[in-house]
Amino acid sequence: MSWMSKEDATTGNPIGMGSNLTYKGSGELDNGWTFGVTVAMLNGNAYSSTAVNIDMLGLGSLNINQGDSGNGLDALDDKMPTAWEEAWGMGLSTGIQLVNGVGPESNIQYTFPSVYNITTVVAVAPDMGAADSNDKGTSGAGAADTTGAGYDITVNANPSFGTEILSGLNLFTGAHLTEVYNSETVQDSFEGTFGGSFSLGPVSIGGAYAAISTGNTKTTSAADWYKNSMYGISFNINDDLSVSYAEHASRQGLISETATAGSTANNSLEVSSMQVAYTMGGASVRVAKSDVTNANYSTAAADDKSATVVSVSLAF
């Protein structure tokens, strides 16, 4: 349940409710391998995603996933410490472009066994942009389909060197490639990110950079690239109460240096969010004050937005 108030904009009815429902199951094979399945539903009982994970013990794990946006590079889109949500995830419709790799697509991911606290993950989507399919079905391909497979690789490392003070250090990096064919205006696209976070006692800090090369080559009003930077800090006042502040900035470069309506070449979007979260048993109360400048990479006055959100959630 949430109450959202927008500044300098029409709020309308501020009351929002979520009725998400998730089904989970798990089991174990005779050889000791374990498996789990998750089926997620959104508001109004709308289907969201399905994932099946197989833990093969010393052989790593395999995940067959239908777009729950948690696999591959998408897991690294914004790993900044936060009390509640990412800075851009507070209902302001920022239009920010993030790295996501194969995460939103139907994909298969393999996680290698960790070696010296280094975990490597590879993920493949057979056809980027294709619709989700039922079992014994395929997505098909339209006449305008120009995208092929997508490939992700990510690496997470905890180089503590056996020391307690570095046990909260996490470094990460990842890259993505989307194959494009039969197109005169779009080439292969690339995404990448790197960053890290560090936790010491009740304080966590983090920072990261990301970049996207869209592959657009001729459409003059289209984006050529995006460059993102982000940072965040959170503080656990006690076991139940935490506060955080985060910023995420994204710069867009257009194919043409000529300004288009409502936007300029190499325009920047910035979003920030201050948050407080309190948890008591199965109940959580969260408050966020968020601001975005140049939403959707537009310099129009209406695209500078602010909002305050109060949320109460009950888990059972």
Task: State the DSSP H helix or E strand holding residue 292, giving kind and residue range, or none if neither.
Answer: strand 283-293
CA of 6: how far to CAs of 10, 227, 253, 270, 290, in Å? 7, 28, 29, 17, 10
Residue among 156, 69, 172 nearest 112 (CA): 156
35 vs 44: CA distance, rounded Å: 28
Convert the pLDDT of each residue in 149-190 to its tens digit: 999 999 999 988 888 889 999 999 999 999 998 777 788 999
Instruction: Tell me the β-bridge partners of 312.
Output: 285
Which two structure tokens, joined as six digits, stand for 53? 């994970």
Closest by CA to 286, choosing from 103, 92, 86, is 86
- Beta-sheet pairing, 34-42 with 21-28: antiparallel
pLDDT tens-digit profile of 203-222? Answer: 999 999 999 999 887 766 78
Structural domains of the chain ordered from first start: 20-134+143-272 (2.40.160.10)
Task: Kindly indicate the confidence band of residue 105, based on its pLDDT and cuts at 50, 70 and 90.
Answer: very high
Is the pTM higher than 0.85? yes
Question: Which has the closest alpha carbon to 264: 304, 299, 215?
Answer: 299
Question: What does the pLDDT read at residue 140?
Answer: 72
Q: Which residues pair with 61 in a beta bridge?
A: 55, 111
pLDDT over threshold 50, residue 236: yes
pLDDT of residue 262: 45
Tell me the average pLDDT across 121-150: 83
Output the furthest CA–CA distance in the chain (Å, rounded).
64
Residue 263 has pLDDT above 60, yes or no: no
Query: Please, what is the Cα angle at 258 between 257 and 263, to 5 degrees?
Result: 100
Three-state secondary structure string covering 195-264 = EEEEEECCEEEEEEEEEEECCECCCCCCEEEEEEEEEEEEEECCCCEEEEEEEEEEEEEECCCCCECCEC
Among candidates 81, 131, 82, which has minimal Cα distance to 106?
131
pLDDT value at position 259?
A: 46
User: Alpha-carbon distance 248 to 272, whole Å?
Assistant: 6
- Summarised one tens digit per residue, pLDDT across range 268-281 is 999 999 999 999 98
Say which amino acid occupies 285: V
Number of C-beta neighbours around residue 249 at 10 A: 18
